[in-house]
Amino acid sequence: MDSWLRVVLVIVSCFFPLMVECRVRHYHFNVMMKNTTRLCSTKPIVVVNGKFPGPTLYAGEDDTVLVRVTNHVHYNITIHWHGVKQIRTGWSDGPAYVTQCPIQPGQNYVYNFTLTGQRGTLWWHAHILWLRSTVHGAIVILPKRGVPYPFPTPDKEVIVILAEWWKSDTEAVINQAMQSGLAPNVSDSHLINGHPGLLSNCSSKGGFTLNVHSGKTYMLRVINAALNEDLFFKVAGHDFTVVEVDATYTKPFSTDTLLITPGQTTNVLLTADKSSGKYLITISPFVDAPVAFDNVTGTATLQYSGTLATAATTLVKPPPQNSSQLANNYITWLRSLNSNKYPAKVPLKLDHSLMFTVGLGVNPCAACSNGRRVVADINNFTFVMPTFAMLQAHYFNVSGVFTDDFPGNPPMTFNYSGNTPSNLQTNNGTKAYRMAYNSSVQVVIQDTAFLAPESHPVHLHGFNFFQVGRGLGDFDSKNDPKKFNLVDPVERNTIAVPAGGWIAIRFIANNPGVWFLHCHFEVHTSWGLKMAFVVDNGEGPNESILPPPHDLPSC
C-alpha cells in the first residue's frame, strides 16, 4: 500500500465519526537559505519556510500527518520527527542513509506518519550533516478531544526552544574538524527562541520576552535543540512543576532548575505568582568533564503585564557548569506517572540483555594534520555511514550495505570508568543488531574513560524506553539490577548516560524496521557513536513494515 492510498483510507474512515476520531494534517516545509544576524554578524543559514526556529507542527493524538519537504538549498536534506514512534512507517523517520536516501537539491518528499497513542511535546530537525543547528522546530501533539491533561489545565501554552549559535558556518566548523582530526570549535552563544538575549554584547532587541499576567499559569514546552550541550534552564524568582518529558506524563514535582540534554523535551507549569516586574530567564551549560564548552549564558525575559519598560530586571545566577549533584538529583526525581490511564508497561522478562560501552578513541588518519583522528564508538565499533539507505537494503534484501553482527557485549572487559587500555584504536563498520518482532530488550549503556569520561545523551529512534537503572562507576551485573526501578521508571526517547557512569533501559521491539541509536551530541555522532537495531517483521497483518512510498528519494 503506497502512501497516498493510506491517506485515502484514513480520509474515508473519517466520514464515520462514531467509529473513529481522526484528522489528516497537511504541512509544506520549504527548505531555503536566509541571511540572519546574531552577535553583530550576518551569515546565510538553512531554514524552513523562512523561519528560525522553524514552524511548529500541530496535530492531535492518532492524527495522520503529511509533510511535503521541498529542498531549495544546495545541501542534501532529511527531516527527523524526533520522538515520533513511526509505527511501521520507518520510511518517514528521516535519518539520512539509515531509513532514507536524502532529498536532493530541487527535489521533494512527503513524510507520512500517524501519531499513534502519543501526545505532548516533541520536535523535528534535520538529520544530515550539522544542519539541525538551524533546521529545527516544535511538534505539539494535543490529547484527544475531551481528554484533559492529568494536571491542572494551564491558562496558556508557550514553546521555548533552546539552541546554540556559531558565527561561522556550522558545516565549515565540522568539516574543518574532520579534516584536522581534532574537536570542532564550540559555539559562540546559546539561544532562547532564536536569540542570545541581554547578556550578549550584541543582543538582538533584548531577546525573547515571555509576557505573563499575574495569577495565571503557563505551560512551557521546553526543547533542547542544541548540538552539543546539556543545558540548565532557570527563571528568576519562579519555580517549575515538571509534568511531562519526551511526550510522556510524569509524576509532578517542583524545582527551580531544569536540566535538558540535546534531543529532550520537558513540559513544565509556571505560575505567575508575582504582581509585576521583569525576571531574567537563563540557559547555561552543564559540563562535568574536562572538555571545551561554550560558557556564554543565553537569556530571555519574563515580563508581567503592566510593568514599566524602565523597570529593573530581577536577576538569577546560573548554576556552576559542573553541578553534578544538582543534575543527578533532578534526574532522580523523574518518574513515570504510572496511573490507570497512563500505566508504565515496563518489560519484566528479557529476550535480549545487552551491554554497550560508549566513548571516544583515536584512529590513524593519513589525511589529518597530525596523522590521527578522534573518533567515537559503541562496543569499540566506530559506525561508518553507508551510501545506500539501510532500511531499503533490509526491505529489499540488498547485500553489502550493512551486516547484522553488531556485538551485544563489549569485546573485552576492564575498568571502564577508571584506567583504560593503552590502545585507543577502534574498529570501523556498518553494523546492526537484529532481533525478532516483539522481543523484550534491556541495554546497559556504560560510559568509558577513553580520552575523558563524558556524558552522552543517547537517542533511540522508533521507540520509547524506560530508564530502569542509573549509576556512577562501572555497572555491577550482580548487584545493580537488584536496585532497578521496575514500577514507575521515567519513560523517554533520549537519555543522558552520566560521565563515568551507566544507565539501563528497557523496551519492547514491537516496531518492525531499522532504527538508529546514537549520541545526540552532534560531534559524537559525526565521530561515529551510533549503531542500528533491525527488528524483523512479525506474523500478524499489522506487524510488518509498510511498502515504501512511490516518492521515496533515491541515492
180 DSSP assignment: H
Running DSSP on this structure, what letter comes out for residue 92?
A: G
> 313, 396, 356: which is closest to 101 by C-alpha?
396
**Cell output for 94:** 528521516
For strands 136-142 and 258-260, give the pairing.
unpaired
The grid cell for 513 is 524496521
Cβ atoms < 10 Å from Cβ of 152:
14
Task: Decide: 495 and 458 in contact? Cβ < 8 Å.
Answer: yes
Predicted local distance difference test score (pLDDT) of residue 422: 81
> Rounded to 5 degrees, what are φ and ψ at 508?
-105, 125
Residue pair 314/404 in contact by the 8 Å Cβ criterion: no
d(CA 316, CA 187): 23
Interatomic CA distance for residues 174 and 469, integer angstroms: 34
Overall residue count recorded for the chain in this entry: 555
d(C-alpha 50, C-alpha 53), whole Å: 9
Question: Do residues 483 and 456 lie in contact, with contact meaning Cβ atoms separated by under 8 Å?
Answer: no
What pLDDT is stored for residue 18 in this prediction? 33
Q: Which of 452, 475, 428, 274 is nearest to 359 (CA)?
A: 452
* pLDDT at position 206: 67
Of 440, 493, 448, nearest to 466 by C-alpha is 493
| Beta-carbon-side half-sphere exposure of residue 119 (alpha carbons within 13 Å) | 16
Q: C-alpha grid cell for residue 170? A: 556550522
CB 267 within 8 A of CB 222: yes
The reported pLDDT for the residue numbered 15 is 37
- Which pLDDT score is estimated for 9? 43
| Distance between CA atoms of residues 530 and 521, nearest Å | 11
pLDDT of residue 155: 98
> pLDDT at position 541, please?
84
* Predicted pLDDT at 437: 98
Q: Which of 466, 219, 222 is nearest to 338 (CA)?
A: 466
Q: Give the pLDDT of residue 289.
A: 86
Which pTM was predicted? 0.95
Alpha-carbon span 246 to 267, nearest angstrom: 8
Average pLDDT, consecutive stretches of 10 residues, N- to C-terminus, the chain (555 residues)? 46 38 90 95 97 98 98 98 98 98 98 97 98 98 96 98 97 94 95 88 76 98 98 98 98 98 98 96 94 93 95 96 96 97 98 97 91 96 98 97 98 88 91 98 96 93 98 97 98 97 98 98 97 96 96 96
Start-to-end CA distance of the chain, whole Å, equals 22
Buried b / exposed e over 182-201, threshold 16 CB at 10 Å, is eebbbbbbbbbbbbbbbbbe
